[in-house]
Structure formats: C-alpha cells, structure tokens
Copies of this chain bind each other. A is one copy, B any other.
Amino acid sequence: MIAGKVFDLAQPLFAGMPHFPTHPPFARTLTKAHGEQVLVNGASSAAELITMGGHVGTHIDALSHFSCDGKLHGGVAPVQSYSDGVTTLGVDTVAPIFRRGVLFDVARLMGVDALPLDYVITPEHLEDCGVTPKAGDVALIRTGWGKFWDHSSRFITGDGGSVVRGPGPKKAGAQWLSKHGIFAAGSDTVAFEHVPSHMEVHVHLLVERGIHIIECLNLESLSEAGVKEFQFIALPLKIRGGTGSPIRPVAVVE
C-alpha cells in the first residue's frame, strides 16, 4: 500500500483557464441544476457537459501527437480520421504510469520565483539541479510559471502580444534528457519547450525518442518541500485514438 505524502501536481480545470490558442478551451455547463427536476421522494441531481481540447489543462501527450516527414515514432505512418482520431500510438495504449520521478527545479537553482520569458534551459542547468534521471523515469522541469495559472495571458504569452512565449529547453536540453532513456518529460509551462520554436523538442522527444511530454503541471508544492525524487503516478484516460489526455498526476514521497 502507498504510504507517505501525496503531492498533487495538477492544475484546476475552469472556464477561462489558460490554453494553447489552437487547442479548444475548457467549457462546462450544467445539464440540470438541483431543484429543476425533483422526484417524489425529494431526490434531485445536478450534472454537467464538458468540452475541452485533448491538450488542455494538465495533460500528457501520446506519441501520436507529433510526426516528422509524415512519420510517427518508430517510422510508422499515422492512421487517422477526424472522427476516429489517430489510431496509431494513441493515448489509450499508454499503461497506467507508476514510475520514479525526478524534479529539475531550475527556478530554484537560479534563485527566482519564475524564469524570465525567453529563458533557455540548457544541459548545464539540468546537470546542476542535483538529480540524475534513470531509464524509465519521469523527469519534471520547474520554471515557476505554474503560479500564473490563474492569469491566462501571463501563462500563455508572458502578457504581451498574441504569440505563445515561454521558457524551456531547446533541443540540447531535450537531448540531455533523452540520453538518459526517460519515459516522459514534463514541465509547469504550456509548451514544455522554449517557444516560439519549430517544435524541435516535441519532434525530438515524441518522434525521435518515443518519450512522452507532460504539460501544465503544478510543481509549486513539490518545490517548496524541496523534493527531488518521488514516485510519479498518472492515469491517462483511455481515449481511443486520442493524441493526449487530461491527467491528475501525483508525486508520492515515502
């Protein structure tokens, strides 16, 4: 049985929360409210309709999310349709995730609350964080941007213009991670990689190396507690043909 402290790594879902502009936002309406329909015994219920993009909120990318030169990871051409999604390497094929996690707290390393807008996270930063990922690990990078979740334009663009911008690794940082054979890389930003970009980091991790990406994490409590190693647990929804899934990941420290 799990024993120890559980850190909740998910951001809350609500209308108006940040979303990458080309991914549909989170929407919700009640389908009925308490008191609208009341049974003879006084029972009543409320329920809702939810709409969102597959890459909105704290979520994991399936390997089917990116291709390069027409090929997914492993050189496979995607089988896809608008109604069935991408049925190759879909998120429904991702097993429940129980893995060692490590935190690269780059914001703390640099002594800042949050990394600047255009800050590039380098292999040297990762080296200096004092943790070493092992094969199969989940490696999380903290920029401090998780605390901007309630301020959408700050989280998405740094609060200026209409271009998605934010700190993160470029290809060199991604290669440092991938050479350790990790299972997934995550961050507390919307794009994981330094953006704007040509999505080289997504291509490197998802397509070239078969490494999942997790975005929009909340790593604040983990950082405050000074935790660098933990058990990482996430249970992606089995969306057939999904290219991503919302998750509520946790870190467990025994």
Contacts and interface: CB of A to CB of B under 8 A. Distances in A.
A130 interface: no
Interface of A: 1-2, 6, 8, 10-16, 19, 21-55, 57, 64-70, 72, 78, 80-86, 92, 95-96, 98, 100, 152-153, 156-157, 160-162, 198-200, 202-203, 231, 233-244, 246-250, 254
Nearest to A207: B43
Given A25-B49, A28-B242, A250-B235, A82 B36 contact: no
Given A54-B48, A64-B46, A235-B247, A29 B25 contact: yes
Nearest to A3: B98
Contacts of A236: 248
Given A50-B52, A54-B50, A162-B38, A83 B237 contact: no
B54 A53 contact: no
**Chain A interface SS verdict (over half):** loop
Contacts of A25: 24, 29-31, 49, 82
Contacts of A41: 68, 198, 200, 203
Contacts of A100: 1
A32 B18 CA distance: 9
A39 B2 CA distance: 45
A30 B199 contact: no
A50 B47 contact: no
A232 to B, nearest CB: 10
